[in-house]
């Protein structure tokens, strides 16, 4: 496990009342300029300690997330396939009558 300490700034959107201290967006110093002047204001400073997982744990979580994503895609595609098959079935059951 690897531990890294970051110095950052807490930001919130400019149109919120000062008493509304919901979870802020936290950005590093080098990213601060891209937020300021576009509706964001600094509401505080932060020191963030991140304890990174071991590479094997990260890879295991990535694999699980990709497998979950695959299941979602398969389900969506199955729904599309079923809708097309339903349309084919409906069209196939129509009889043609000459005028």
Q: Please write the tens of the pLDDT for every residue from 9-37.
A: 888 877 776 666 667 788 888 888 888 88
Q: What is the pTM of this model?
A: 0.52
| pLDDT for 18 | 63
What does the domain layout of the chain look like in residue ranges?
Answer: 2-52, 55-92
| pLDDT for 29 | 84
The token pair that represents 73 in the structure block: 């895609």
Task: Express each pLDDT in 33-44 by its tens digit.
Answer: 888 888 888 888
Report the sign of the C-alpha dihedral through residues 84, 85, 87, 91, in that order: positive
Task: Express each pLDDT in 39-68 by its tens digit.
Answer: 888 888 989 999 999 999 999 999 999 999
| pLDDT for 83 | 96
The token pair that represents 17 in the structure block: 């009342």
């Amino acid at each position: 496990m690897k531990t890294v300490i970051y110095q950052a700034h807490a930001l919130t959107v400019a149109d919120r009342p000062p008493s509304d201290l919901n979870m802020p967006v936290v950005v590093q110093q080098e990213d601060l300029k891209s937020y300021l002047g576009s509706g964001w204001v600094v509401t505080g400073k932060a020191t963030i300690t991140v304890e990174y997982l071991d590479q094997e744990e990260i890879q295991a979580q990535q694999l699980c997330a990709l497998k979950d994503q695959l299941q979602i895609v398969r389900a969506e595609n199955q729904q599309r396939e079923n809708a097309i098959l339903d349309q084919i079935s409906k069209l196939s059951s129509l009889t043609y009558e000459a005028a």
